[in-house]
């Protein structure tokens, strides 16, 4: 069954603006990961946040995790056209496998 659900399903912003995507999940987790997928390609790992962490940064990416609300957010600052892609959160749900959400389709307009 689906564990993570991203919100919004689609997001379109101007280049240079910040993009925020949210992920909600249902069961307790050990960690949550964010992946990116360019159209028709494989997924690429972006960042992992553990259940005992609240915030993590990697370059222009900032991820937060609120285990009490079972939610996470991915912030991309100073967006670029090359950031256009689909973004997925994935959780282990306490089990030995990753379950992905449906993704947020991000479009950066030049």
Partner 1 sequence: ETGVTQTPRHLVMGMTNKKSLKCEQHLGHNAMYWYKQSAKKPLELMFVYNFKEQTENNSVPSRFSPECPNSSHLFLHLHTLQPEDSALYLCASSPETALDGNTIYFGEGSWLTVV
First-to-final CA distance of the chain: 37
Among 8, 27, 44, 78, the residue binding partner 1 under the rule CB under 8 A is: 44
Among 43, 63, 65, 74, the residue binding partner 1 under the rule CB under 8 A is: 43
Beta strands (DSSP E) in 1-110 are 5-7, 10-14, 19-24, 31-37, 43-50, 55-58, 61-66, 71-76, 85-91, 99-100, 104-109
Q: How far is the CB of 107 from partner 1 (least distance, A)?
A: 17
The stretch among 10-18, 19-27, 43-51, 65-73 that binds partner 1 (CB under 8 A) is 43-51
The stretch among 15-23, 32-40, 52-60, 67-75 that binds partner 1 (CB under 8 A) is 32-40
Between residues 85 and 88, which has the closer beta carbon with respect to partner 1? 88
CA distance 31 to 10: 25
């Amino acid at each position: 069954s689906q564990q993570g659900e991203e919100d919004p399903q689609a997001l379109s912003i101007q280049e240079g603006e910040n993009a925020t995507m949210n992920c909600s999940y249902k069961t307790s987790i050990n960690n949550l990961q964010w992946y990116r997928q360019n159209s028709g390609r494989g997924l690429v790992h972006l960042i992992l946040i553990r259940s005992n962490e609240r915030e993590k940064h990697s370059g222009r990416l900032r991820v937060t995790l609120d285990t009490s609300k079972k939610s996470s957010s991915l912030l991309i600052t100073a967006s670029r056209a090359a950031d256009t892609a689909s973004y997925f959160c994935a959780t282990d749900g306490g089990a030995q496998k990753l379950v992905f959400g449906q993704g947020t389709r991000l479009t950066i307009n030049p």
